[in-house]
Structure 1
Amino acid sequence: MNTLPVGDVLDLFVHFLTLSLLSIGGAMSTAPEMQRYFVVERGWIGETDFSTAIALAQAAPGPNVLFVPVLGFQAAGLPGAAAALVGILLPSTLLSLGVSRWGARRRDTALVRAFTAGLAPVTVGLVFATSWLLALPFVSAAAHRNGALLLIALTVLVTLRTRLAPIWMILVGAALGAAGLA
């Protein structure tokens, strides 16, 4: 955990305010941009710390946005966690409330139906980009490549063919990783 100057914590807050407006499909859809910001641009945390924060938050019960304050905490302690969480929640919450009320009154119009249908492929693409970003460190490392690709393929297959809760696949992946098999 780092101690950042107040200006950097404010920048973190403003960055997450912006990301909130881009997080179609949830905060996870903006993980590639968060990775660029935290790891590549600012160097506040390492690649492994970034992936670990997301994995831990996804394994925990609750909403998938839990990784956001973990990233903020890793970068700047409690002020960073608060800045990231409030930044990611505030705009999207206010916008969602306003749009849902507006859309509920107009749900049968062509514009609202087209907008809703158009968001589906955008969401799928953003989630795919996040998945790729999280898998890349393991697929890139020769020692982990085959195990990671096999685990990814099996996870996709199980997801498409069963109704198994994702937590079970996360636990299997964690166990295989801990055993050095993936």
Structure 2
Amino acid sequence: MALLADLFLQFSILTVVAFGGITAMLPELHRLVVEQRQWMDDTTFAHLFAIAQAAPGPNLLVVSLIGWKVAGIPGAIAATLAISLPMSLVIFFLYRHWERFRDAPWREAIQTGVAPLAVGLVCASGWLIGASAGLDLRGILLTLACTGLMLARGWHPLWYIGAGAAAGALGLV
């Protein structure tokens, strides 16, 4: 029971830094579950993230999988509720008042400031997952090539996933 309470409390606190969604908070989530609490290792964390990304549905699945790995089905439920419930309640109560301040200069400042924060957090998450996956030079080069192509061409991400799968199947990565 103490483990479930700790899981719920820690994940509830993480919702404060969830600008940009679950993916943006992966570095802090990793720090918590791998480095601080030692509930799992780097590889398990990367695998759970990969499974969550491969499954249909929201990115929130990674939190449910981490909770499941830590404390089974009750852990999955506690982690999912902890990530979803607190900020959902805050947004529910604040949203009614947000429109009242549509012309306030501080509102635009907040909205302008949150965008680069979210982008930076998502980039940090990508770096963390790459580092946790234990990439060698070939994996790093494939990552850089896919990133460059995505920025230059804007192809659908499934093409890059397919390229990575093919490179892995052929033993190139």
User: Taking structure 2 as the reference length, what is the TM-score of the superposition?
Assistant: 0.90
1:28 & 1:116 partners in 2: Cα distance? 19
**Corresponding residue to 1:96 among 91, 96, 117:** 91
1:103 & 1:162 partners in 2: Cα distance? 37
The residue aligned with 1:3 is: none
The residue aligned with 1:121 is: 116
Question: Which piece of structure 1 moves more, 128-137 or 112-121?
Answer: 128-137
Any idea what SS the aligned residue of 1:64 has? Answer: coil
Cα deviation, residue 137, structure 1: 3.4
Cα deviation, residue 153, structure 1: 1.2
User: Taking structure 1 as the reference length, what is the TM-score of the superposition?
Assistant: 0.86
1:133 & 1:40 partners in 2: Cα distance? 13
| 2:155 is aligned with 1:160 | no
Cα deviation, residue 177, structure 1: 2.9
What aligned pairs does 1:1-182 form with structure 2 within 5 A after superposition? 6-138=1-133, 144-182=135-173
Aligned length: 173
Cα deviation, residue 84, structure 1: 0.6
2:158 & 2:6 partners in 1: Cα distance? 34
* Aligned amino acid, residue 181 of structure 1: L
Conserved in 2, the CA contact under 8 Å of 1:21 and 1:92? Answer: yes
1:165 & 1:64 partners in 2: Cα distance? 18
Q: Percent identity?
A: 38
CA distances 1:41-100 after superposition (whole Å, capped 9, x unpaired): 222222111001111111222211111101111111101101110000011211222333
RMSD of Structure 2 on Structure 1 (CA): 1.7
Structure 1 segments, 4+ long, off by >6 Å, are: none
User: Which structure 1 segments of 5+ residues have no match?
Assistant: 1-5
* Aligned amino acid, residue 107 of structure 2: V
CA distances 1:8-49 after superposition (whole Å, capped 9, x unpaired): 111000001100121111112111121122222222222111
